[in-house]
Amino acid sequence: MITDGGGPGSETARIGVSLGPIGVDVGWWLESARRLDAAGYAGVWCWDHFVGKGDRTVPVLEQWTTLTAAAATTRHVEIGSFVVNVMNRHPAVLARMVGNAQAISHGRVTLGIGIGGHPKEHVAYGIDFPEAGERAARLEEAIAVIRALWTGGPVTRPSRFYPLEDAYAHPVPDPAPRIIIGGESVAGARLAGRIGDGWTAFDRTFERDLPIYLESLAAAGRDRADQRLIVAFEAGRSGESALDDSPWVTRPAAELARWQAAGADDVIITARTTSDVDRLVRAAGG
């Protein structure tokens, strides 16, 4: 929660930070998360990749073990996935992982989830990567499975992809985390409006697809006030600082207000290096 004058801002100033997991070690990631927590940022988020898009020998942190460690070592920030690739984990397993992380964080977890988009890592790991239509169908079914298991069970439900039979899941997360659907496509915006607790898109697609999302929300008889819309900003490459002259460090409150006026509730910006984190902490008055 940041103001241009430094120090804590208003409760509406929601700036989260996605810390890049590629080419870093877990000590750096967790220390950066603790620094952002202490500086007053709203959340720390992590991508879901197993290998980088370039050199496959570069280390990459696994998303949910990293986020769970952050849940245990931070005090205030939201802990979020930006975003889970639905193909990377069976949704019943993911429901259990997120439920545990919610208990560890005392209710600070948000589940961002999408259809994925890095087929080479699927080839490398032998993980199925069907065409986009099937991945979207799997995403919808996975969300239903996760929500059902978050009741604790028993859950028995038929499913084309993820059938359950007399399934229990404890601890029951309290509260159940929001499920934010990530999507840069028209289909993703529609799905988020129909079944998500919110929607996230990058800055380059957010304003284009916002009317489609809102139309889908209205068609489903759902209330915008119950939803959470997040616009995300990605810049630079792994290992390279990207926030030198960014408005997110020179005038963050004004930039946030501009995007809230465009329809977003919150924002997520990307930090990949210690220099990026340093700039963010200074921008917060730290």
pLDDT of residue 184: 86
Mean pLDDT of the 108-124 span: 94
Evaluate whether residue 260 is within a structural domain: yes
Q: How many whole angstroms from its chain centre is CA 195? A: 17
pLDDT of residue 95: 98
Kindly report the CATH number assigned to the domain that includes residue 85.
3.20.20.30
Mean pLDDT of the chain, nearest integer: 93
pLDDT tens digit sequence for 176-190: 999 999 988 999 999
Evaluate whether residue 256 is within a structural domain: yes
Evaluate whether residue 94 is within a structural domain: yes
Lowest mean pLDDT among 67-81, 166-180, 240-254, 267-281: 240-254
Evaluate whether residue 3 is within a structural domain: no
What's the whole-model pTM score?
0.94
Evaluate whether residue 217 is within a structural domain: yes
pLDDT of residue 56: 82
Number of domains, the chain: 1
Evaluate whether residue 78 is within a structural domain: yes
pLDDT tens digit sequence for 35-48: 999 999 999 999 99
Evaluate whether residue 237 is within a structural domain: yes
5 vs 283: CA distance, rounded Å: 8
Judged by DSSP in three states, 120 sits in helix
DSSP annotation string for 46-77:
E---SS-SS-TTS-B--HHHHHHHHHHH-SSS
pLDDT of residue 286: 67
pLDDT of residue 219: 98
pLDDT of residue 118: 87
Residue 85 pLDDT > 70, yes or no? yes
Lowest mean pLDDT among 128-132, 144-148, 233-237, 255-259: 233-237
Evaluate whether residue 108 is within a structural domain: yes
pLDDT tens digit sequence for 244-271: 889 999 999 999 999 999 999 999 999 9
Residue range of the domain that includes 177: 15-283
> Cα dist. 189→110, 211, 234, 278 in Å?
18, 9, 19, 34
Residue 99 pLDDT > 90, yes or no? yes
207 vs 68: CA distance, rounded Å: 32
Q: Give the confidence band of 7 by pLDDT, cuts at 50, 70, 90.
A: very low
